[in-house]
Chains A and B, each alone.
Chain A
Amino acid sequence: MKITRSMVLVSSDPLSLQRGSLEIYRRFQEKLESYQLAEEVALSTITDVGNTEASPVVVIYPEAVIYGPVQPENVDRLVSEHLYKGHIVEEMLVPKRHLPSRMAWLQSRKGSLPAQQRILLARVGKIDPENIEDYILHDGYQALAKALSKMTPQQVIEEISKSGLQGRGGAGFPTGRKWSFVASAPGNKRYVICNADESEPGTFKDRVLLESDPHAILEAMIIAGYAIHAQEGYIYIRGEYELSQKRFLKAIEQAHEYGFLGKNILGSNFDFEVHLHSGAGAYVCGEETALIESIEGKRGEPRSRPPYPTTHGLWGQPTLVNNVETLANVPPILLHGAEWYRRFGTPSSPGTKVFTILGNVNATGVIEAPMGITLREVINIYAQGMKNGAAFKLAQTGGSSGSLIPASLQDTPLDFDSPRKAGVSLGSGALLICDDNTCVVDLVKVLLRFFRFESCGKCTPCRIGTQRCYETIRAITEGGGQLSDLDGLLRLAEQMERLSNCGLGQTAAVPIRDMLKHFRTEVEAHIRLGICPTGICRMVPEDETAELIENQMV
């Protein structure tokens, strides 16, 4: 079995077709065969490049270079030079001024295939996670030693700020800024909390890091403690992650033995302790204030903000809450410098991101890729294409609360900047890819069942809103929907978004809105024609009443 390593996209919009792009596609097929690259290079067409003087264009990933205008007779050169030898054919590149803006962003992207440039997952799969010696051999605790012996806490924060690191827990808040808020907040004690309550459906990047490289997270927590003048840290790992907890506890124990935790760490007069706190099964505890409530022995109900945890966190003291993946970035940044880190990703979202790929694709699991990759690349290069050759229908990015992306938006870059522009949320980095055997109404029903189940019940818009949305959508899948329900859904969605106390209720509206924006015809078919176009929904009332009430692990 060979791994796909590149992807070639041939534009096939009407203008390109007119200018002979079919012939280009055919030539590529031929040439890839004759160079025996057909298995390693995915070939596909792209219809939404937009009109450009440079049509027809050919885009080659992972380098993300755009050639054009391409003639059929150029194909041989592109295959032999670029794909076979790996040299970019400079003189055939499209001049930037000829590119429509939706393609131009590609030029600003840096970096290539992640297999060669793993930062966060550098040690994952190379070391024994329960062996501290393995970690030390692979640069382990070097960043801590550097910070403690050569840098002041202020310098550590400055370096993190300069790197442009953004929080990977979902919101993308600049990490350096958060650290300096906590460091300067008044209080007699400060805390570092590592948020490892990863419960967003389809997200397991934090589990991979904790199970495969726990010392890296521990090292980052100690560095964070040094930077913000804290003596104590908590890691809140969800209760279901037993293996992560076991491995992290072991890491804490070994770090004590070696002197990375405890008093006077590495002779620097800095003391630090880390406690592991297990979650007990509640998605909402991933929200930072609910998490703090949970550590304090209460129900995990989010607090009203402000005040934020940066000033009033655990036990009312200034508290730094960071996601596992965010922290995993810290040691490499300190070790190699902010300049080095900024070489990856896009200018506005530097660095790499760990994505989890799921659904109806050939390869599921975790990858590390530069910020700004596109869904099309993910499907064709990393995920090895759709399973059983089925057609791609939609993807959900960022877990349950993420947006639903139809096939027409699959060239939008995934970074923290573009969601705001194009409506693709990166969120937790989960990419659920669905083929055309997926019914969008059925999918949204499952998503809302999740929100309904996980709503903490503190605020009414979320508690009742998720329930009502679920009921309405379930009625549609059972043949009992009305057209007026759709407006009702949108109204409810808006109320949840505006009035909910925390992100759970606010984002529950996103899938509903996206469903009605991109797939309204499919929804209406359920209602007007009484059929499910994919044949998934049974369109008869199902006896799940018992489940509705009992479907709790209470």
Chain B
Amino acid sequence: MPLINSPQDLRRVREETLQKRLLQNQASRIQIIVSMDTPAIAAGARETMQAILEFIEEEKLNHILVKKTGNLGFDSWKPIVQVVINSQSPVTYRKVSPTVARRIMEEHVVGGKVVQEHAIHF
């Protein structure tokens, strides 16, 4: 039997998911979103992701949630990484090489200071 069998079911599942997400957001104050589509991967997003995960592992920052998304911003900016702290509006970084990723983790995620050279202001 599938999970959803009527429009009412859909509404219920949506509500439940929303609740689940709220709890999740409370548990992990910091979210890092990495753009992972073909151009991003061609520009090195896998290595960037790797660097972020390694940093989290090394520093034991288990409360950080790392997510992937599809296309984010312009291709010429890729790899692109977004940092969301306390559900505030995200800071978007462009041209995030593994070295830059480590810097963002140290200075922004841990230190709370935005790395201006790589930030994009919309």
Contacts and interface: CB of A to CB of B under 8 A. Distances in A.
A5 to B, nearest CB: 9
B70 A266 contact: no
B97 interface: no
Interface stretch (A274-282, A312-320, A358-366): A358-366
A256 interface: yes
Contacts of A299: none
Interface in A182-233: 207-208, 211-213
Contacts of A553: none
B18 A137 contact: yes
B121 interface: yes
- How many chain A residues sit at the interface, stated as a range, is 35 or more
B14 to A, nearest CB: 5
A126 B4 contact: no
Contacts of B77: 363, 365
B44 to A, nearest CB: 15
Contact of A124 (B5, B70, B119): B70
A364 B74 contact: yes
Interface in A128-174: 128-130, 133, 136-137, 141-142, 145-146, 148-149
B35 interface: yes
A136 B5 contact: no
B37 A363 contact: no
A243 interface: yes
Contact of A211 (B20, B37, B121): B37
Grouping DSSP codes into helix (H, G, I), strand (E, B) and loop, the A interface class, with mixed when no group exceeds half, is: mixed
B73 A125 contact: yes
Interface residues of B, number: 35
Contact of B2 (A126, A127, A213, A259): A259
B27 interface: no
B7 interface: yes
B121 A267 contact: no
A133 B17 contact: yes
Contacts of A115: 122
Question: Of residues A130, A136, A148, which shows the largest number of chain B Cβ atoms within 10 Å of its Cβ?
Answer: A136
Given A256-B2, A365-B74, A136 B17 contact: yes
Contact of A266 (B6, B20, B37, B74): B6
B3 A126 contact: no
B110 interface: no
A439 to B, nearest CB: 23
Given A127-B69, A212-B71, A365-B73, A266 B121 contact: no
A1 B121 CA distance: 6
A258 interface: yes
A346 B83 CA distance: 37
B5 A266 contact: yes
B23 to A, nearest CB: 13
Contacts, number: 102
Given A137-B14, A266-B10, A125 B69 contact: yes
A260 interface: yes
Contacts of A137: 14, 17-18, 21
A208 B14 contact: no
A124 B33 CA distance: 13
A243 B2 contact: no
A362 B77 CA distance: 10
A129 B35 CA distance: 11
A243 B38 contact: yes
Nearest to A2: B121
B67 A364 contact: no
Nearest to B118: A1
Contacts of B73: 125, 365
A378 B24 CA distance: 40
B7 A257 contact: no
Nearest to A139: B14
B13 interface: yes
Contacts of A364: 74-76
Contacts of A262: 2
Interface string A1-15: 111000000000000
A262 B4 CA distance: 12
B70 A211 contact: yes
A125 B120 contact: no
A136 B69 contact: no
B71 A125 contact: yes
B72 interface: yes
Contacts of A1: 94, 119-121
A145 B7 contact: yes
Contacts of B113: none
Contacts of A127: 69-70
Nearest to A127: B69
B68 interface: yes
Nearest to A244: B38
B3 A125 contact: no
B120 A3 contact: yes
Given A363-B76, A366-B71, A257 B38 contact: no
Nearest to B5: A267
A2 B94 CA distance: 12
Contacts of B6: 266-267
Interface in A234-259: 241, 243, 256-259
Contacts of A260: 4
A134 to B, nearest CB: 9
Contacts of A133: 17, 20
B4 A207 contact: no
Question: Of residues A2, A130, A365, which shows the largest number of chain B Cβ atoms within 10 Å of its Cβ?
Answer: A365
Contact of A129 (B18, B70, B74, B122): B70
Contacts of B4: 258-260, 266
Contacts of A362: 76
Given A133-B20, A145-B7, 18 more contacts: A1-B94, A124-B70, A124-B71, A136-B10, A137-B21, A148-B7, A211-B71, A212-B37, A212-B70, A213-B70, A256-B2, A257-B3, A259-B4, A266-B4, A266-B10, A363-B76, A364-B75, A365-B75
Interface of B: 2-7, 9-10, 13-14, 17-18, 20-21, 35, 37-39, 41, 67-77, 94, 119-122
7 contacts: A1-B120, A1-B121, A125-B69, A125-B70, A136-B17, A211-B38, A366-B71
